[in-house]
Amino acid sequence: MSSRFPTKGRIIFHVDMNSFYASVEAAYNPDLKGKPLAIAGNPEVRKGIIVTSSYEARAKGVKTTMPLWQAKDLCPELIVMRPNFDRYREASKNMFEMLAEVTPYIQPVSIDEGYMDITECADLGTPFEIAENIQKRIKNELDLPCSIGIAPNKFLAKMASDMKKPMGITVLRKRELATKLWPLPIDEMYGVGGKTAEKLRNINIETIGDLAKYDVYHLKSILGINGERLQNRANGYDPRPVDPDAVSLFKSIGNSQTLPYDTTDEREITKLLRSLSEKVAERMKRKTVVSENIQVMIRYHDRKTITRSHQLHDYVEFSEDIFNIASELFFSNWNGKAIRLLGVTAQQLTEKEEMTKQLDLFTYENEAKNENLYKVVDDLSEKYGKDVFKKSVTHEGNHSVSTSFQKDFLDDFKRD
């Protein structure tokens, strides 16, 4: 594949930006180049969490999701910055525009990675040459590093892009699975999370090769249909196409926030639930969708996490309705112990223009009665700012970072 195009089959690239947020900051401010840099949601609070870090920081042991205090202990000279999502969004948009000049078959999967199907691009050179040109252009014009995996399907391309970072280009052919893929530990396989890896190790599956050769019926008895799917991919089978339209699909809109300290204060919890509900409603309005299911996530001080949802008989879209449902869910399921994180998510979304809701008399009267109120609120918010009716305030220094920034980016990418 590195020397010529195959006569049959597909050629898929997985383009993965290296340490994207930190790399964008270093491109914006060259003084940061070569220094240990981390992006954290709240640098002023030692309980803040590392979002990403430069390779210089990673060399000192700094990892994503690591508490800030621990990262500072490992790397005292660590430079910590808040995320600048507008800056990252702009860099990502420029990167994907470059990819679109190569082929229209592009499927972004997050702000910093995406798939390309270059099967019909033989006139641009060999697959390896095309990858080199993409990598060089992104580096020269955006000053950003990326790794590219080249393979006959999406799974193998994803695995290949992870094999050499930063600035790597790796080809992974099916005939090379036994030497390149199968020796890898099972937890390095894309699609295998921590819990799944633990289940697989319990049945003596330590490597991807062990998974590829394991009895499929036993796998399905433990992991269900996902067991067979994972085994197929371990054997190099993945029929999923690169789908440019997939970026328009979103099933939920949610926000969560980690508290700067564990709390059992009901007033603080209520304020946070209201704030999260308002953010969810705001994003729903921007996406012009309504929801039939509201979910609350509760993470306790000991990291135990539960989720509870409520199926609705009608659609909701306004923050007050979301807040009322989320509050009822929380207080009916909270065990009274200290809370570390809260999340509110609107699920089962429907676009307004596709909604064929039939209003009964009671619903019609209530919505008609509130319609003028909603209009006044919107008009005043537009004139004086969206916080004019804010019913709660957050603690100073307690900044929330949207957990669905990636989803918002994908939707906006599709609309652009």
Is residue 6 within 8 A of residue 126, CB to CB? The reply is no
Residue 416 annotated as part of some ligand binding site: no
Cα separation, 416 vs 22, in Å, equals 25
H/E run at residue 210: helix 208-213
User: What is the sign of the dihedral through the CA atoms of 22, 27, 29 and 35?
Assistant: positive
Number of residues in the chain: 416
Distance CA 235, CA 182 (A): 9
In whole angstroms, give the CA distance from residue 357 to residue 359: 6
| Structure tokens, 267 | 């007033």
Bond preceding residue 166 cis, omega within 30 of 0: yes
Name the β-bridge partners of 350.
Answer: 290
Quote the crossing angle between the two packed helices 216-223 and 225-234, to the nearest 10°.
Answer: 130
Q: How many CB atoms lie within 10 A of CB 113?
A: 20
Determine the residue type at 126.
Answer: T
Q: What is the dihedral angle through the alpha carbons of 277, 279, 285, 288, rounded to the nearest 10 degrees?
A: -90
Going from the C-alpha of 264 to that of each of 215, 267, 304, the distances in angstroms are 48, 9, 15
Residue 238, marked binder = no
Dist. CA 173–CA 153, nearest whole Å: 10
Residue 334 CA, chain-centre distance (Å), reads 27
Catalytic residues: 113
How far is residue 54's CA from residue 62's CA, in Å, rounded to a whole number?
A: 9
Q: In sequence order, what are the residues at sequence separation of 6 or more whose Cβ sits closer than 8 angstroms to the Cβ of residue 122?
A: 5
DSSP of 231-282: HHHHTT-------GGGGG---EEEEEEEEEEEE--HHHHHHHHHHHHHHHHH
Q: In which region does residue 174 sit, left (phi positive, over 0), alpha (psi from -120 to 50) or beta (all else)?
A: alpha
Q: Report the binding-site residues for Mg(2+).
A: 16, 112
